[in-house]
């Protein structure tokens, strides 16, 4: 995520802000320019969800913004727990949408393409049985995942090192991009070389995955245990990691973070600088990977200094890096 400056007083403001805390000007996110703008410097209006869930995006129409419009189903106003989780989910979804725009990935809404377009059903499992997942462009999110105790309990139960709402969104939209950018394209053969044959039964694969204990046999070849369940899940997990890495590296770059490393004789190649150009996307995956590996080592140490778990508790083996490189090629060659 880039660092934004107030267009009135040039103070630092953040993607989530709806006003500048220095000069007090009201701010909103203008998707067409990818920046926050002062409301008195634009003809755009606040999204109709601004008061309800704190959406800070702007719209021409005075209705819902383009990010909120992607949500097809949301909780009823009377479902207070659902409404609180919806607010958090939409905040994560705006961050996702910003990044997809930044990477110039398509976000065709289902209202434009009723067969394959993108839509979000944000449902509360307190009211009904909800399974987070993706089906032909429709992403279903269990809003109970917006509740910290529930999500943490699920994380522990599934023995996952990392579980966030943003992570769910990045994973599920990865499934959609597989359909849009990989399936039935010249990329499919290379995909099958790297990730395996997606035509093997998905339901059998999942049953097998959940039926046997984790013996860590996936660790050299997959970014997570769940990635080893089926090639589709491997792609979605790898795609989500690609978005984690791109966003975090971009943020570090915008704030001028440098990683010089300790002057020890370690088998680590430190980068002196997080050399990801914040405006022009990197075309060179190896440079991105090198920057990230240096950066994530430091970020993990910083978290430990605060008594927290590692920020990025994953190991990127050569096989996983090959898969990430493939995602990078698919994403960048889409443009
Ligand atoms: Zn200001
Ligand atoms: Zn909105
Ligand atoms: Zn999945």
Q: Record the tokens describing residue 86, joined without a space.
A: 């919806």
Ligand 3 center from residue 253 Cα (angstroms): 30
Q: State how far Cα 324 lies from the chain centre.
A: 15
CA 294 – ligand 3 centroid, Å: 28
Separation of alpha carbons 244 and 224, rounded Å? 14
Among 256, 258, 191, which Cα is nearest to 230's?
Answer: 191
**pLDDT tens for each residue of 137-168:** 999 999 998 889 989 998 999 889 899 999 99
Looking at 37-41, 244-248, 261-265, which range is the least confident one?
A: 261-265
Q: Is the pLDDT of residue 242 over 80?
A: yes
Give CA–CA dist 106/63, Å, rounded. 22
Distance 27 CA to ligand 3 centre (A): 36
Q: How far apart are CA 40 and CA 73, in angstroms?
A: 32
In this prediction, residues 75-81 reach a mean pLDDT of: 91
- Please, which residues have CB less than 5 A from ligand 2, an ion? 47, 49, 55, 57, 65, 68
Q: How many A from CA of 164 to the centre of ligand 3?
A: 14
Nearest by Cα to 261 from 229, 309, 285, 293: 293
Tell me how many degrees the CA angle 291-296-298 measures, rounded to the nearest 5.
105
pLDDT in tens, 288-298: 888 898 899 99
Q: From ligand 2's centre to the CA of 57, what distance in Å? A: 5
Stretch (H or E) spanning 30: strand 27-30
Residues with CB under 5 A from ligand 1 (ion): 6, 8-9, 11, 20, 22-23
pLDDT of 278 strictly over 50: no
CA 97 to chain centroid, in Å, comes to 9
Return d(Cα 81, Cα 231) in angstroms, integer.
35
């Amino acid at each position: 995520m880039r660092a934004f400056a107030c267009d009135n007083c040039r103070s630092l403001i953040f993607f989530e802000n709806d006003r500048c805390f220095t000069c007090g000007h009201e701010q909103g996110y203008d998707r067409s320019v990818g920046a926050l703008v002062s409301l008195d410097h634009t003809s755009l209006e606040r999204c109709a969800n601004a008061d309800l869930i704190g959406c800070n995006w702007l719209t021409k129409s005075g209705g819902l913004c383009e990010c909120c419009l992607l949500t097809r189903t949301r909780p009823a106003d009377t479902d207070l727990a659902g409404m609180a989780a919806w607010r958090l989910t939409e905040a994560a979804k705006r961050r996702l949408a910003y990044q997809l725009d930044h990477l110039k990935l398509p976000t065709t809404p289902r209202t434009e393409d009723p067969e394959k377009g993108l839509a979000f059903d944000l449902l509360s499992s307190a009211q009904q049985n909800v399974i987070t997942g993706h089906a032909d462009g429709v992403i279903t999110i269990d809003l109970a995942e917006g509740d910290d105790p529930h999500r943490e309990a699920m994380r522990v139960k599934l023995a996952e090192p990392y579980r966030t709402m943003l992570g769910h969104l990045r994973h599920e939209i990865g499934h959609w991009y597989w359909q849009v950018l990989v399936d039935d394209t010249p990329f499919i053969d290379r995909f099958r070389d790297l990730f395996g044959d997606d035509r093997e039964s998905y339901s059998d694969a999942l049953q097998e995955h959940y039926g046997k204990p984790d013996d860590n046999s996936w660790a050299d070849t997959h970014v997570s245990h769940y990635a080893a369940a089926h090639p589709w899940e491997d792609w979605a997990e790898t795609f989500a990691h690609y978005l984690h890495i791109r966003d975090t590296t971009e943020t570090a770059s915008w704030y001028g973070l440098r990683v010089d490393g300790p002057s020890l004789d370690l088998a680590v190649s430190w980068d002196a600088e997080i050399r990801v150009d914040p405006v022009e996307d990197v075309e060179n995956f190896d440079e991105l990977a090198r920057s990230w590996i240096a950066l994530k080592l430091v970020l993990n140490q910083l978290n430990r200094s605060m008594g927290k778990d590692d920020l990025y508790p994953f190991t990127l083996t050569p096989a996983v890096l090959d898969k990430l490189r493939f995602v990078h090629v698919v994403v960048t060659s889409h443009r």
